[in-house]
A and B are shown apart, each in its own frame.
Chain A
């Protein structure tokens, strides 16, 4: 299972490094406005081809580049109910703190669990390779966190049940 993880992350890394080449693009629709074109979708010619990288049908990364912004949407693996609830809570937690994260989008793209929006301004202020590092590390850590949380929940449940039932004579 994890032998597909390394190529998957390597692929995402190289795609992101290529996609995060952006330049400033003043809006052609409204004078003196500067909007992330991938969100506004106002001029079709500056939107580049979206790329979908799938590890399997439940783990995918959608990268939508444009001339001055890139939208990265991640679909996290959620096998059962508990994982679904934990993933939902975790992503909601992160998205509420989107301002602190700068590149995080407050609402995920439809069909995905969490989305990032990186503009040319962000890339100018931050080191590109570190940004890519962050996204890759994020993807790894979220999976790890989910499985750890699930394990700890099961361990808690076991202790609770055992301590209750061992009280009986």
Chain B
């Protein structure tokens, strides 16, 4: 499985099962997603079992709200989203799904299912959309050469405890900078190999149109180093910074949604493949060790056969072991 799926598969299949069931039943299911995102799907009231509540808790909700996440979600799920006051306890957003008022035809239903499974992706899309809007604004009236980057224009999303995503719009592009932590030495080295390939991939014909990728180890890139008020930037051996340079052709109205989905999954994609490589190396080593053992046993087995030959019988029937 080369690519990670943007939607939550479990949610999709579970909701599909609930949509197609004969009789509504009570539901209480908690599950998780990448980056410590928690979901909770339940029937709140026991009397009307066909009203499901789907709640999500995202670690960086505070950052996302600052960048207009609520508005984006209201746009996507206008019939289903619950106002802030009715959001489930300990969760950030709740959606209400009424099983009786579902659309009847299969195509719309599938589309609805997919949009629910993309709940996390839609929440995280907010800062990106805002960045693209700011870029368009900057393109219209470009700032003078001496104006320094405004603090409001740089967006920070701390989607994991020690890792963050920085979005920086400029007049002709949008820069997305990921900071990522490699907890182990081997992870760090594998990560370096992978990221070096990302940087070099642009040379290949199939990736000509892809955004430019830059990678720095230890030190944060210059774009975000100078900006005041950004908070503490991680430095050290285990930190890597990956910069994506997105050009306007990546966020035209047609390409915008897929670009956002792709960029969001980057960090998880990278770490997933690092771990897959480690597992592959491990299984390779195991086969190699088995082959060595076979060779060594060849040395032993011949000797054991030699043992068998040493027992001999004389003509009269006496047997002895040859020294």
Contacts and interface: CB of A to CB of B under 8 A. Distances in A.
Contacts of A154: 193, 197
Given A127-B299, A149-B284, A167-B258, A85 B185 contact: yes
Contacts of B207: 161-162, 165-166, 168
B292 A94 contact: yes
A12 B26 CA distance: 74
Contacts of A149: 281, 284
Contacts of B295: 133-134, 137-138
A111 interface: no
Nearest to B251: A169
A81 interface: yes
A109 interface: no
Given A149-B284, A162-B204, A168 B198 contact: no
Contact of A168 (B250, B281, B292, B303): B250
A145 interface: yes
Contact of B262 (A94, A103, A161, A168): A168
Contact of A169 (B204, B213, B250): B250
Contact of A130 (B185, B259, B285, B299): B299
Contacts of B255: 169
Which of B189, B194, B266, B299 is most buried by chain A, counting CB atoms within 10 A of its CB?
B299
Contact of B189 (A82, A101, A152, A168): A82
Interface string A42-54: 0000000000000
A153 B284 contact: no
Interface residues on B, range: 35 or more
B259 A168 contact: yes
B297 to A, nearest CB: 10
Nearest to A157: B197
Given A100-B293, A168-B250, A163 B2 contact: yes
Interface in A125-141: 125-127, 130-131, 133-134, 137-138, 141
Nearest to B287: A145
Which secondary structure dominates chain B's binding surface?
helix
Nearest to A91: B285
Contact of B259 (A137, A152, A169): A169
B60 to A, nearest CB: 23
Contacts of A153: 190, 193, 277, 281
A165 B299 contact: no
A40 interface: no
Nearest to B300: A126
A119 B21 CA distance: 71
26 contacts: A82-B189, A89-B281, A93-B289, A100-B293, A101-B296, A126-B299, A126-B303, A130-B302, A134-B296, A138-B292, A141-B288, A141-B292, A153-B190, A153-B193, A153-B281, A156-B277, A157-B194, A158-B201, A160-B194, A161-B194, A161-B201, A163-B2, A164-B266, A164-B269, A165-B202, A169-B258
Given A85-B189, A133-B295, A165-B210, 15 more contacts: A94-B289, A103-B296, A125-B303, A126-B303, A127-B303, A134-B296, A137-B295, A153-B193, A157-B197, A160-B194, A160-B273, A161-B207, A167-B258, A168-B250, A168-B262
